[in-house]
Amino acid sequence: MLEAEEPAGAPGSDNPARPPRPALTPPNEPSPAILPFANLGSGPEQDFFEVSTVTQTFSRFVPRRLVEQLIETGTPLHLGGTRREVTLFFSDIVDFYGIMERADPARLIQYTSRYFAAMSKEIKRQRGTVDKFIGDMIMAIWNAPADDPDHAANACAGALGFMRANGRLNAEFEREGWPAYRTRCGLHTGEAVVGNIGSEDHVNYTALGGTVNLAARLEGLNKNYGTSILVRPSGSAQSPGLSFAASIESVQDPSQRRWKSTN
């Protein structure tokens, strides 16, 4: 036999009153949680704290300079880009997938995160922007989004600092019984389209073009020669004060190719 349930909060009822349900955000209105730049705080100190928190949080996902521009101008991100000269950097860990197959997943994430943190620090130290992590690969850009007239030299210095930091970190890893993350790097300076690319609900700040492809190819060519860093001459030529060991091979820039019509 079913008994009728007493309404919540009724006199003499053991059922406590239910709290009112929170109001739902209308479907066509953006949630306040994704509008961190609107109506910040109630005073200068509160505003400073919240702006600092927003900058620190969102700069983990997009370049810090873009976050600062959003806060300064209040202008939302739009899809689009510009063509500009940049220096592109790619790095890759030797035999990472072999390490991954033998490793405990939790420890793999722990050590790989330490690697990304240490390597990103060296890139940022030389004014580079970490664009993304692709598996174990790091892609970085110099001269975007912030202007850097010495971007080629800074990128080369960043790559050298990257390798020194990699050596120090590998010594720590080996002392802790973890495999060394031996890393190879490729750099190239040239024109690329840089900007916000994606869809309405997922935007990625990145670079596109032959310069990007060639930098990635240079990283991969290291394994053919047993080298750690390969730089195309157009990049090293803009880096006075930095010397390189040897010329290895001519690599075609994909942006210089011209398609031949078959008609």
Torsion of CA 183, 117, 131, 205, to 10 degrees: 160
Q: Domain end: 76, 92, 125, which one?
A: 76
232-235 long-range contacts, CB within 8 A, separation 24+? 232/187, 232/188, 232/189, 234/188, 234/189, 234/190, 235/87, 235/152, 235/155, 235/156, 235/187, 235/188, 235/189
Q: Is 142 found in the same domain as 241? A: yes
Q: Is 99 found in the same domain as 221? A: yes
Euclidean distance between CA atoms 186 and 225, whole angstroms: 13
Euclidean distance between CA atoms 130 and 155, whole angstroms: 12
Euclidean distance between CA atoms 128 and 202, whole angstroms: 23
Q: Is 113 found in the same domain as 72? A: no
- What would the pLDDT profile of 187-205 be if each residue is shown by its tens digit? 999 999 998 888 877 778 8
139 found inside a domain: yes
Structural domain range at position 137: 80-246
Q: Is 231 helix (H, G, I), strand (E, B) or coil?
A: strand
254 found inside a domain: no
231 found inside a domain: yes
Q: Is 147 found in the same domain as 99? A: yes
Q: Is 198 found in the same domain as 69? A: no
Q: Is 170 found in the same domain as 242? A: yes
Can you list the alpha helix ranges (DSSP code H) found in 74-104? 96-102
23 found inside a domain: no
Q: Is 189 helix (H, G, I), strand (E, B) or coil?
A: strand
Q: Is 229 found in the same domain as 242? A: yes
With a cut of 50, list the residues of the chain below it in pLDDT. 1-4, 21-42, 45-49, 51, 54-55, 57-59, 235-237, 254-263
Whole-model pTM? 0.68
Q: Which residues does 32 contact at the CB level (< 8 Å), separation at least 6?
A: 25, 38
Can you list the alpha helix ranges (DSSP code H) found in 176-252? 210-225, 233-236
- Residue 8 confidence (pLDDT): 53
Torsion of CA 195, 197, 203, 206, to 10 degrees: -50
Q: Is 60 found in the same domain as 101? A: no
- Residue 25 confidence (pLDDT): 42
Looking at this protein, which amino acid is placed at residue 11? P
Q: Is 121 found in the same domain as 48? A: no
Q: How many domains does the chain have?
A: 2
Annotate 140-157 with DSSP letters as a single string: EEESSSS--TTHHHHHHH
Q: Is 194 found in the same domain as 64? A: no
3 found inside a domain: no
Q: Is 49 found in the same domain as 123? A: no
Cβ contact 200:74 at 8 Å: no
- Residue 203 confidence (pLDDT): 77
Euclidean distance between CA atoms 115 and 165, whole angstroms: 9
Q: Is 135 found in the same domain as 64? A: no
258 found inside a domain: no
User: To which H or E segment does residue 208 belong?
Assistant: strand 202-208
> Can you give the CATH number for the domain in which 216 is found?
3.30.70.1230
Torsion of CA 224, 225, 231, 234, to 10 degrees: -90
26 found inside a domain: no
